[in-house]
């Protein structure tokens, strides 16, 4: 049986560039060498490809059977890279163009989830050049979370407890995106749940994130070694069932396939779960929770990579069966 040629695309023009490098190395180390031949495609922070770029033309990349993109964040997770693979007529791991784009934009994702009946936290949108802290305080009060609309790994996110810290948080978020999302701060607990599948989806057992910092920010995720993880999460059976169902509901609502990690908040006062975010190319570093949750749920890291590649090929075959011309 001949090996599949897997193009691992990593790096990219994003604030999550360094995380992408670590994810890629973990994936490459775990891809079964008896089944796959790995081709590296590195994208620099300036957007330069090495050793060469994937060509946006069917048949122009004969050395590639399937693409495994692990370009977290903007220009990689937001549908732009996925559009390139579609033009090239290549199977690729993770959600398609629309699901990737919708999930990446926190405002659009929240609106879609809300319309689908998936609980989301109250929020406001402001734009660079029109930031108004008083309007936020009048509507949502304090504290609030302030986020760039299109970014991940908690880059540019801050919790604001005072008007002064809110102004600083708005200014920082606006450096990363012209659109800023402001959310009511939830007092409670943080959870994550992994989702796998195309038409048929399943959710892993969830984990609880217990950061020692104010919240699960970039430093807590990737630099400091102080965050505690409880896997499985300390939830009763009904809560576990609820969070797993909501995870699949959220992924379906955003039209995502392949893989996604859904982040949750559980409000202490009400017992309500809220979907905080859907990550379509979640981290695959040695400490990333997407593969760890599946490992706890019975799928080892290397087997998970096999499944994701198989899902990519199956979706591409389904897509190829669609007629695009009269």
User: Domain 4-100's class?
Assistant: alpha beta
Whether the pLDDT of residue 173 is over 80: the answer is yes
C-alpha span between 326 and 324 (Å, rounded): 7
The per-residue pLDDT for range 262-320, each reduced to its tens digit, is 999 999 999 999 999 999 999 998 789 999 999 999 999 999 999 999 999 999 999 88
Length of the chain: 326
Residue identified by tokens 């020692």 is: 212
Query: Do you find a cis peptide bond into 232, omega within 30 degrees of 0?
Result: yes
C-alpha span between 38 and 113 (Å, rounded): 37
- In terms of DSSP H, where are the helices of 50-96? 80-88
Helix (H) / strand (E) element for 210: namely strand 207-210
165 CB neighbour count, 10 Å cutoff: 17
Question: How large is the average pLDDT for residues 167-188?
Answer: 95
Would you place residue 17 in the very low, low, confident or very high pLDDT band (cuts 50, 70, 90)?
very high
Query: What is the value of pTM for the model shown?
Result: 0.91
Residue identified by tokens 């800023």 is: 180
**Which residues are CB-contacts of 95 (< 8 A; sequence separation ≥ 6)?**
82, 103, 254, 255, 256, 257, 258, 259, 260, 280
Residue identified by tokens 């069932």 is: 241
Q: State the pLDDT at residue 42.
A: 98
Classify residue 44 as left (phi > 0), alpha (psi -120 to 50) or beta: beta
Q: Is the dihedral of CA 100, 103, 106, 112 positive or negative?
A: positive
Question: How large is the average pLDDT for residues 29-50?
Answer: 97
The per-residue pLDDT for range 68-118, each reduced to its tens digit, is 999 998 899 999 999 999 999 999 999 999 999 999 999 999 999 999 999
Question: Are 197 and 129 within 8 A, CB to CB?
Answer: no
The per-residue pLDDT for range 204-258, each reduced to its tens digit, is 999 999 987 665 555 555 455 567 999 999 999 999 999 999 999 999 999 999 9
Question: How large is the average pLDDT for residues 3-28?
Answer: 95
CATH fold of 123-184 reads Dna Ligase; domain 1 (3.30.1490)
- Delimiting residues of CATH 3.40.50.20 domain(s) in the chain: 4-100
Q: State the pLDDT at residue 172.
A: 95
DSSP class of 106? H
Would you place residue 156 in the very low, low, confident or very high pLDDT band (cuts 50, 70, 90)?
confident
Residues marked active site are found at 16, 153, 222, 261, 263, 277, 279, 283
- Delimiting residues of CATH 3.30.470.20 domain(s) in the chain: 188-304
- Delimiting residues of CATH 3.30.1490.20 domain(s) in the chain: 123-184
Beta strands in 71-138 (DSSP E): 123-127
Question: Are 283 and 143 within 8 A, CB to CB?
Answer: no
Whether the pLDDT of residue 325 is over 90: the answer is no
CATH fold of 188-304 reads D-amino Acid Aminotransferase; Chain A, domain 1 (3.30.470)
């Amino acid at each position: 049986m001949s090996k599949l040629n897997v193009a691992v695309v990593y790096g990219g023009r994003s604030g999550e560039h360094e995380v992408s490098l670590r994810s890629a190395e973990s994936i490459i180390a775990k891809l079964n060498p008896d089944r796959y031949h790995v081709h590296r495609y590195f994208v620099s922070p300036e957007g330069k490809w090495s050793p060469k770029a994937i060509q946006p033309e069917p048949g122009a990349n004969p050395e590639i059977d399937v693409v495994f993109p692990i370009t977290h964040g903007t220009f990689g997770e937001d549908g732009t890279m996925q559009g390139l693979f579609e033009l090239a007529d290549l199977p690729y791991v993770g959600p398609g163009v629309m699901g990737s784009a919708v999930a990446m934009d926190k405002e659009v994702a929240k609106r879609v989830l809300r319309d689908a009946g998936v609980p989301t936290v109250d929020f406001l949108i402001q734009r660079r050049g029109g930031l108004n802290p008083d309007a936020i305080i009048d509507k949502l009060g304090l504290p609030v979370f302030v986020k760039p609309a299109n970014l991940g790994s908690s880059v540019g996110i801050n919790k604001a407890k005072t008007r002064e810290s809110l102004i600083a948080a708005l200014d920082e978020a606006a450096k990363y995106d012209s659109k800023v999302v402001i959310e009511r701060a939830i007092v409670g607990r943080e959870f994550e749940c992994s989702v796998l599948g195309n038409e048929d989806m399943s959710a892993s057992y969830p984990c609880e994130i217990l950061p020692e910092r104010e919240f699960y920010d970039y430093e807590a995720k990737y630099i400091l070694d102080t965050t505690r993880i409880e896997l499985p999460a300390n939830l009763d059976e009904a809560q576990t069932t609820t969070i797993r169902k909501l995870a699949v509901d959220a992924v379906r609502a955003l039209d995502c396939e392949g893989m996604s990690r859904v982040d949750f908040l559980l409000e202490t006062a009400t017992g309500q779960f809220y979907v905080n975010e859907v990550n379509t190319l979640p981290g695959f570093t040695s400490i990333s929770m997407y593969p760890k949750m599946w490992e706890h749920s019975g799928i080892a890291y290397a087997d998970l990579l096999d499944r994701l590649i198989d899902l990519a090929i199956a979706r591409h075959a389904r897509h190829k069966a669609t007629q695009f011309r009269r």
